[in-house]
Structure 1
Amino acid sequence: MKIIIQEFIAKFYQVIILILLAIILVLSIFGGVQTWRASSLKTDYQLLNAKYKTEVAEAKALTEQAKAEARTKEKEWSDKLLEVEKAHNAKMQEIIIDVNNAKSAVDGMSKQLDTATKRMSTASKETIIEYANTNSDVLKECIGQYQYVAEQADKHAADAKRLSDAWPK
């Protein structure tokens, strides 16, 4: 019986050793797989991190390029606006000079009309008729000029509205 027990104990130890070897083998395989997965994840992380840094650098470069283009466009618009303002101011000076000249001419004509009106009481019938005809011709010319100026003002207003509506918002 002693032999049976010794054989049983020997077989028991063999089975225990085999089980321990199998556990060590499984743990070694599991450890190797985990090491491989960790290495793979680390490589993937490094690739994604490098890609992220590249994309961030590209985005910064594009942002700087857009800022530079915006500054250039703003400078162009500013220069154009300054040029237009100078031209507008020069035109306004011309208009002021023209208005002053027109006022002088109107003042001169007003004085002539006052003088003519004062002389009406002593004028002959033919002179009065000629004066009335001349006044009629002057009024017709004034009406024609008034219509022309009104037409030009309406065209200008339509052009200004078209430009305003077409201007980028």
Structure 2
Amino acid sequence: MNLYLIWKYKYWIAIAVLSFICFGQLAYTNHLGGELIKAEANHKTELANSQALTEKAKAETAVKEKQWSEQLLKAEQNYNVKIKQVMADATRAQSAANSLSKQLDTAKSRLSTAPRETIIKYVNTSSDILQECVAEYRTMAEAADGHAIDIGRLSEGWPK
């Protein structure tokens, strides 16, 4: 009897089964659409966050670059001031050396009238040696000052 009823209503049963499958597919498709909408919303949120972080990083980079640029400019200005100071010191040292040389030349000319030839030779030799020492000292002091200033400029200009 059950088979007879199934056979008799086979079209309605097929329609019911197919309708159930169709509604199931429709529900599943609707579920997947909702998941897609959620995924798109998450994607937009992540994209906005990523862009915000990128903009923040760009701003921080610009600030750091400006700080380093200002630091480098300040180091260059300090370097130029120190170079001028070294040049002034070198000029003063040269002036002092020239003054000392003139004094020694005067002393040399006064001692040359003295009867002792040994004293004259001694003074002449001492004057020559002193002139050479002063010149070498000035050259060495300029080089040392230049190196110290270069180190200071590099230290000040280096990013921290």
- Taking the aligned partners of 1:119 and 1:22, their CA distance within structure 2 comes to 142
Report the CA distance between 1:113 and its aligned residue: 3.8
- Taking the aligned partners of 1:14 and 1:42, their CA distance within structure 2 comes to 37
Q: Which residue of 2 is the match for residue 64 of structure 1?
A: 55
Structure 1 residue 31 corresponds to structure 2 residue 25: no
Report the CA distance between 1:124 and its aligned residue: 3.6
CA contact (8 A) 2:111 2:119 kept: yes
Aligned pair count reads: 143
> How far does the alpha carbon of each residue in 1:103-151 deviate from its partner, in whole angstroms, 9 at most, with x for none?
122222333444445556533439818955x939x86xx59x96xx68x
* Partner amino acid, structure 2, of 1:87: N
Q: Which residue of 1 is the match for residue 37 of structure 2?
A: 46
- Taking the aligned partners of 1:118 and 1:26, their CA distance within structure 2 comes to 134
Alignment TM-score, normalising by the size of structure 2: 0.68
Report the CA distance between 1:77 and its aligned residue: 1.3
Structure 1 residue 74 corresponds to structure 2 residue 33: no
- Taking the aligned partners of 1:14 and 1:68, their CA distance within structure 2 comes to 75
Higher Cα Rg: structure 1 or 2? 1
Report the CA distance between 1:47 and its aligned residue: 0.3
**Farther-moved stretch of structure 1 (51-60 vs 111-120):** 111-120
Within-5 A mapping of 1:107-122: 107-117=98-108, 121-122=112-113
Q: Which residue of 2 is the match for residue 21 of structure 1?
A: 12
- Taking the aligned partners of 1:124 and 1:40, their CA distance within structure 2 comes to 124
Report the CA distance between 1:40 and its aligned residue: 0.6
Q: Which residue of 2 is the match for residue 91 of structure 1?
A: 82
Alignment TM-score, normalising by the size of structure 1: 0.65
- The Cα RMSD (Å) is 3.8
- Taking the aligned partners of 2:98 and 2:121, their CA distance within structure 1 comes to 23
Structure 1 residue 104 corresponds to structure 2 residue 106: no
- Taking the aligned partners of 2:72 and 2:100, their CA distance within structure 1 comes to 41
- Give the percent of matched residue pairs that are identical in Structure 1 and Structure 2: 45
- Taking the aligned partners of 1:66 and 1:106, their CA distance within structure 2 comes to 58
- Taking the aligned partners of 2:10 and 2:46, their CA distance within structure 1 comes to 53
- Taking the aligned partners of 1:106 and 1:14, their CA distance within structure 2 comes to 128
- Taking the aligned partners of 1:111 and 1:129, their CA distance within structure 2 comes to 16
Give unmatched runs, 5+ long, in structure 1. Answer: 1-10
